[in-house]
């Protein structure tokens, strides 16, 4: 029964996410989609560094700042920097598992973890949401939901394999699929099968025996949070999760009914011809190769040379092909680029920018973009797949090798 003149019932949905774009983008896309539904109030809780972006997307989203350091500022204290995070595949070096994986899992020390947990708990208690949607690796928010018996869903920007590897029948997660960050091809060749199994076992051993991780778990336990990190509990219990994967874009997998495969979750973007008319005119000139290695990728001088010489060597005198390149910190390389592109005709074929003002997915929707070269981030992978653009992945770390495989 509808009572005439009565206020409509408003449902409140609260999102918890890391502030970094790689983790936040799918959350933001979901939040904006929810705003198109009637009588839904959308809240996002994250670190202050995300607030400006959220407010720029839609003023109707209510942003709540969490008390603590975001991942980008917390990881250097754990020994990880934008430069040190790079590593070869683990078939060539064990450095990832020993020095990179555990800091990426823990992020914060025990004291800061508990401060963020209490901040998440406070936001839930104040808003009293009908539903919480969490970044699947945002452990403090998960802990807060478990403590308050709050109804929630998980969201992952990554492929389904990252979530369901441990749930595959016949222990396939250990041998049938390439081990994490190994760059082993799929199907796994017989010659690499034992190595693949060994890498998978070593990963588990490093995580279980990690002093850093166990100290965080112990600190949590001493302050009233039982068990291991809640992410482990969430995966083992196959809680409801939203994934941008679809079967055509991933390995053949057993997918539990609790995991929804909805395809690429990409922010609605302003068309390229509206967002950047000048770039549109440049793209209209001919076939374009687009290269974007992520916000935090730092180039070396030798890599700059390799990119320019590699492109020119590949296309030769085919002046109908051009190159759109996002080069962070390009001011540092102006002299080198002038040297490498001394030929005016070559210089005309390059458009090098420090920042892409239009959304990258909008650029890829231009019909002249014929290939996307990127670092292998899940968002880049799914955006290019959604645009139907062939991809070249230059993997640099961690799960980027899995995206490439």
Q: Which residue has the higher pLDDT, 370 or 396?
A: 370
At 6 the pLDDT is 46
Which residue(s) pair with 241 in the sheet? Answer: 154, 259
Q: What is the pTM of this model?
A: 0.89
Token pair listed for 284:
């209209």
Q: Give ∠ CA 356-361-366 in degrees, rounded to 5.
A: 90
What DSSP line would sit under 300-322, residue for residue? -HHHHHHHHHHHHHHHTT-TTEE
CATH architecture of the domain covering 11-261:
3-Layer(aba) Sandwich (3.40)
The predicted pLDDT at position 238 comes to 61
Count of residues in the chain: 405
* Other Cβ atoms closer than 10 A to 99: 17
Most confident of 114-128, 174-188, 281-295: 114-128
Say whether the peptide bond before residue 150 is cis (omega within 30 degrees of 0).
no
3-class SS string, 19-65: CCHHHHHHHHHHHHHHCCCCCEEEEEEECHHHHHHHHHHCCCCEEEE
The vertex-320 CA angle with 319 and 325, nearest 5°, equals 85
**pLDDT over 80 at 251, yes or no:** yes
Identify whether the C-beta of residue 179 lies closer than 8 Å to the C-beta of residue 199.
Answer: yes
Strand partners, 371: 289
pLDDT at residue 236 above 60?
no
Render 341-404 in DSSP notation, one character per residue.
Answer: T-SHHHHHTEEEESS-SS-HHHHHTSTTEEEEEE---HHHHHHHHHHT--EEE---STTHHHHH
* Of 375, 365, 284, 362, residue with least CA distance to 322: 284
The answer on pLDDT for 2 being more than 50 is no
Q: Angle between the 193-209 and 211-222 helix axes, to the nearest 10 degrees?
A: 40
- pLDDT exceeds cutoff 80 at 113: yes
Query: Averaged over 91-113, what is the pLDDT?
Result: 80
pLDDT in the model for residue 1: 37
**In the chain, where the domains are located:** 11-261, 272-404
Do 40 and 34 form a contact (C-beta atoms < 8 A)? Answer: yes
Contacts of 300 (CB under 8 A, 6+ apart): none
Tokens read off for 21:
């774009």
* CATH class entry, domain 272-404: alpha beta
* Best CA proximity match to 43, nearest among 16, 4, 67: 16
Digit-coded pLDDT (tens) for 157-201:
998 888 888 889 999 999 999 998 999 999 999 999 999 999 999
DSSP state of 191: G
- The per-residue pLDDT for 14 is 98
Q: What pairing do the DSSP bridges indicate for beta strands 350-353 and 369-374?
A: unpaired
Is the fold of 11-261 the same as that of 272-404?
A: yes
Answer for the pair 324, 349: CB distance below 8 angstroms, yes or no: no
pLDDT at 141 over 90: yes
- Taking 70 as the threshold, does the pLDDT of residue 4 lie above it? no
Number of Cβ atoms within 10 Å of the Cβ of 139 = 27
- For the sheet with 369-374, list strands across it: 350-353, 321-326, 287-292, 369-374, 391-393
DSSP symbol at 237: T
Give the pLDDT band (50/70/90) at residue 152: very high
d(Cα 120, Cα 136) in Å, to the nearest integer?
Answer: 15
């Amino acid at each position: 029964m509808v009572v005439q003149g009565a206020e409509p019932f408003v449902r409140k949905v609260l999102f918890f996410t890391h502030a970094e774009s790689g983790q936040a983008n799918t959350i933001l896309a979901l939040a904006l989609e929810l705003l198109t539904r009637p009588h839904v109030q959308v809240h996002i809780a994250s670190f202050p560094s995300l607030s400006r972006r959220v407010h720029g997307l839609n003023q109707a989203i209510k942003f709540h700042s969490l008390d603590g350091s975001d991942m980008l500022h917390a990881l250097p204290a754990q020994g990880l920097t934008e430069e040190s995070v790079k590593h070869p595949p683990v078939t060539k070096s064990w450095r990832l598992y020993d020095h990179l994986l555990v800091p990426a899992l823990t992020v914060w020390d025990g004291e800061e973890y508990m401060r963020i947990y209490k901040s998440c708990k406070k936001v839930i208690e104040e808003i009293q949401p009908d539903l919480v949607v969490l970044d699947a690796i945002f452990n403090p928010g998960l802990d807060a939901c478990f403590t308050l018996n709050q109804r929630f869903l998980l969201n992952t920007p990554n492929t389904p394999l990252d979530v369901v590897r441990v749930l595959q029948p016949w222990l396939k997660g250990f041998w049938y699929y390439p081990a994490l960050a190994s760059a082993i091809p799929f199907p796994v060749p017989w010659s690499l099968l034992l190595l693949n199994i060994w890498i998978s076992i070593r990963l588990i051993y490093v995580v279980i025996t990690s002093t850093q991780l166990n100290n965080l778990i112990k600190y949590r336990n001493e302050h009233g949070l039982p068990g291991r990190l809640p992410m482990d509990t969430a995966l083992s219990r196959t809680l409801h999760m939203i994934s941008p994967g679809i079967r055509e874009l991933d390995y053949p997998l057993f997918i539990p009914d609790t995991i929804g495969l909805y395809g690429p979750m990409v922010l609605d973007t302003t068309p390229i011809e509206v967002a950047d008319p000048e770039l549109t005119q440049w793209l209209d000139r001919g076939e374009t190769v687009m290269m974007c290695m992520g916000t935090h990728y730092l180039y070396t001088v030798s890599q700059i040379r390799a990119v320019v010489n590699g492109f020119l060597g590949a296309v030769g005198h085919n002046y109908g092909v051009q190159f759109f390149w996002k080069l962070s910190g390009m001011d540092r390389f102006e002299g080198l680029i002038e040297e490498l592109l001394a030929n005016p005709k070559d210089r005309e074929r390059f458009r090098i920018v420090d920042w892409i003002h239009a959304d990258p997915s909008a650029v890829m929707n231009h019909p002249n973009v014929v290939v996307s070269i990127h670092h292998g981030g899940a968002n880049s992978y799914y955006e290019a797949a959604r645009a139907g653009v062939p991809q070249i992945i230059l993997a640099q770390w961690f799960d980027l090798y899995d995206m490439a495989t």
